[in-house]
Amino acid sequence: MRAIVAHQPHDLRLEERPAAAEPGPGEVRVQISRGGICGSDLHYYHHAGFGAIRLKEPMILGHEVAGRILQTGAGVTCVAAGDPVAVNPSMPCNHCHFCLRDQRNQCLDMRFFGSAMRFPHMQGLFRDEVTLPAEQVYKVPDTLDLGLAACAEPFAVCLHAVAGAGSLLGKSVLVSGCGPIGNLVIAAARHAGAAQIAASDLADAPLAIASKLGASQTFNLAQTPDALAPFGERKGLFDVVFECSGSAKALATALEVVRPGGTLITVGLGGDIPLPLNMVVAKEVNLKGSFRFDAEFGWAVQLISSGAVDLSPLISATLPAEQADEAFKLASDRSQSMKVQLAFND
């Protein structure tokens, strides 16, 4: 079995690994077809980790995947051999304090494919086959492009963020930062009924995709730094702001343009940055973080499968697994790509 393995910064190898195990009771063996390169994959590729998390051993990358069932174990009735599926990479323990409080995304013993947070590392899903619990797979229509099915995981992250803001029906929304997550937040907000969605970024290419996914206005802040200033009038005009860049400047701008009593959802990770606390207090802003997902994965699969959302503008290129290094370099260039996917078993 082939697998895409990170060893050190810019040391990515297509290696032979042992074949996936025969599925036991309650398990399935999946042949991977498509895998999307995520921001965390790029951190492992460029830096061998992020923050305090570092590779301590070679690790298979990837967690945004879809494929087909090859084999089912005893007792599995939800899927059958040949079924196309999206794979949920998140495996909470289901018995810790947070799991029992229905906060499974905060699990104290989370297993997440393609993560170096544990040691031995939780190997990822950029491989030809994987055997895993049947509850991790969600059947999709035979007619669905498996590249779109592989978008279920990042879209679930964004559905979780949008749900945290409450009802968006008829609301005015700003999405700050239009990488893959920001653009998927736009798609989720549009589906949730937002009346106006403005999008801001520092480049035209991601903003063009934002328009295709539902943004009604776009602002290139590199070209026009004060473009959002009019929305800061009368103490702020946006009902909800989703800050997806993790930038200190973007956070300050978000607080200027959100209305008093409005909601600011922080989605982007940017390390420790200053918080204009006086503005949060004076404007009575509802400030809330958003982390990963839980039940939203099933919602994401349903929305993608039914055609209720069309995420195809997000996928900018699909390269064969043999060109993994080229694919990671392309995914690192925001001027050329948004979501780069890898093709397995074509």
How does pLDDT run along the chain (346 residues), one tens digit per residue? 999 999 999 999 999 999 999 999 999 999 999 999 999 999 999 999 988 899 999 999 999 999 999 999 999 999 999 999 999 999 999 999 999 999 999 999 999 999 999 999 999 999 999 999 999 999 999 999 999 999 999 999 999 999 999 999 999 999 999 999 999 999 999 999 999 999 999 999 999 999 999 999 999 999 999 999 999 999 999 999 999 999 999 999 999 999 999 999 999 988 888 999 999 999 999 999 999 999 999 999 999 999 999 999 999 999 999 999 999 999 999 989 999 999 998 7
Q: Is 243 part of any domain?
A: yes
Instruction: List, as own/partner pairs, every contact residues 46-55 make where C-beta atoms lie below 8 angstroms and the sequence separation is at least 24, other chains included.
Output: 46/9, 46/10, 46/332, 47/9, 48/6, 48/8, 48/9, 49/116, 51/271, 53/116, 53/117, 54/116, 55/6, 55/7, 55/8, 55/116, 55/121
Q: Is 45 part of any domain?
A: yes
* CATH number assigned to the domain comprising residue 125: 3.90.180.10
- Structural element, H or E, at residue 6: strand 2-8
Give the number of domains in the chain: 2
Q: Is 300 part of any domain?
A: no
- Name the one residue in this structure whose structure tokens are 């699909």: 318
Q: Is 251 part of any domain?
A: yes
Q: Is 295 part of any domain?
A: no
Q: Is 60 part of any domain?
A: yes
Q: Which one, of 343, 315, 342, lies nearest residue 148 by Cα?
A: 315
Shared domain for 131 and 194, answered yes or no, is no
Shared domain for 109 and 185, answered yes or no, is no
Shared domain for 8 and 108, answered yes or no, is yes
* CATH number assigned to the domain comprising residue 255: 3.40.50.720
Shared domain for 284 and 191, answered yes or no, is yes
Shared domain for 192 and 246, answered yes or no, is yes
| Amino acid letter, 271 | G
Shared domain for 46 and 133, answered yes or no, is yes
Shared domain for 33 and 61, answered yes or no, is yes
Q: Is 302 part of any domain?
A: no
Please give the residue range of the domain that contains residue 264.
Answer: 157-289
Shared domain for 83 and 170, answered yes or no, is no
